[in-house]
Amino acid sequence: MKKSNTPGPAAAGQDSPALHASRRNFLKAGASGIAAATVATWVPDGMAQSAPAVSQPPAAGPAAGEQSIELKVNGQSHRLNVPANAILLDVLRDRLQLTGTKKGCDHGQCGACTLLVNGVAINSCLSIAVQHDGDEITTIEGLAQDGKLHPVQQAFWEHDAYQCGYCTSGQIMSAVAILNDPNIGSDDASVREAMSGNICRCGAYKNILAAVQSARGKMGRPA
């Protein structure tokens, strides 16, 4: 129209602590470490621990130029004082420490910052936080339930629908939105069109499409 964690050289079978800082050793150890770090950006809890939203203390009165708002994020309410021009993406990342939603282009062109507001996918880098007072916001951290991946997350994992992983959380959130939208066709062309606002600079589009269509079956959506 969206992966978020981290092992290191040991995960690549390097149990010797004396790794030399050479290009060869970096590449040998890095292949598995990079893949693990990629997955860590979006796989929660049992598979990779996501940082929970930071519980905010009760807000005092807003300072000059601020407004008091309540953001309902992943089922948890947060009362915050924010500047009138604060961007939703920045508030989520900097104030609530929900860093799974990525800042990419910061111009609404890449889709890395996609999340759901009242079930609708939006570019959070273009959205003013005070506009969402009382809204239900879902980020990548809120998709898994009871330690079980959302079907779209599971499908992205199974179909290797990521490479560097930076765009993956936005891709997943867009996929969730389109699979919940009965007005978007189920054929491959319709899915590609609906996902066209999410750019994958690594070019993993074929696997992303396969993951979305696989998740469609897991979610019982019409084919």
- Checking if the pLDDT of 63 tops 80, the result is yes
Please list, in sequence order, all residues whose beta carbon lies within 8 angstroms of the beta carbon of residue 46, skipping any fewer than 6 positions away: 147, 148
Q: Where are the domains of the chain?
A: 66-142, 151-218
What confidence tens digit (pLDDT) does each residue in 128-151 have?
A: 999 999 999 999 999 999 999 999
Region 184-212: mean pLDDT is 97
Distance of CA 195 to the CA centre of its chain: 15
Q: Tell me which of 38 and 68 has the higher pLDDT.
A: 68
pLDDT interval class at 54 (50, 70, 90): low
% of the chain exceeding 90 in pLDDT: 70
At residue 118's C-alpha, the angle toward residues 77 and 38, to 5°, is 80
Lowest mean pLDDT among 21-30, 194-203, 210-219: 21-30
User: Quick one: angle between helices 205-218 and 151-158, nearest 10?
Assistant: 140
d(CA 142, CA 44): 9
| pLDDT on residue 52 | 55
% of the chain exceeding 70 in pLDDT: 74
Q: Domain 66-142 maps to which CATH number in 3.30.530.20, 3.40.50.1240, 1.10.10.10, 3.10.20.30?
A: 3.10.20.30
Tell me what the pLDDT averaged over the chain comes to: 83
Q: Would the CATH topology of 66-142 be identical to that of 151-218?
A: no
- Checking if the pLDDT of 33 tops 80, the result is no
Secondary structure class of 59 (helix, strand, coil): coil
What confidence tens digit (pLDDT) does each residue in 87-112 have?
A: 999 999 999 999 999 999 999 999 99
Looking only at Cα atoms, what is the longest distance across the chain? 57
Q: Domain 151-218 maps to which CATH number in 1.10.150.120, 3.30.70.20, 2.60.40.10, 3.30.450.20?
A: 1.10.150.120
